Amino acid sequence: MHMVFRHLPENDPNENAYPITEIMASLKKYTARLANLSLNRTGQPFWHPESYDRVVRDSDELYNVIFYTLNNPVKAGLVEHWQDWPNSYCKDEFLEWF
């Protein structure tokens, strides 16, 4: 799974606070539970123990990260165009880039 998101800290005066570890841990815990229930599995890890994250610092890097993320199913040979992948989503404000 790949995703690009912007963390919007609520009332956090520290601009450099990126609780990505807590966000990903919560997301992985919740989705792993649902996925394992759906797959009728117990006691098996669903996600890799580590996540790869990065801070995007400018619009060029943002374009590259979104492009990479959207085109992952294409690269894997699952679809011909990223729009054909049923689980892809791109916020309207970025669609004009692609």
Residues 80 and 46 in one domain: no
Residues 98 and 66 in one domain: yes
Residues 48 and 3 in one domain: yes
Residues 2 and 41 in one domain: yes
Interval 30-55: pLDDT, tens: 999 999 999 999 888 899 888 788 88
For range 63-70, the mean pLDDT? 94
Report the C-alpha gap between 90 and 3 in whole angstroms.
10
Number of independent structural domains in the chain: 2
Residues 98 and 68 in one domain: yes
Report the C-alpha gap between 11 and 13 in whole angstroms.
6
Closest CA to 89 of 63, 70, 62: 70
- Under a CB-based contact definition with an 8 Å cutoff, are residues 66 and 97 in contact? yes
Residues 46 and 70 in one domain: no
Domain range spanning residue 98?
Answer: 56-98
The pLDDT assigned to 12 comes to 61
Interval 5-27: pLDDT, tens: 887 766 666 655 657 778 888 88
Residues 40 and 83 in one domain: no
pTM above 0.75, yes or no: no
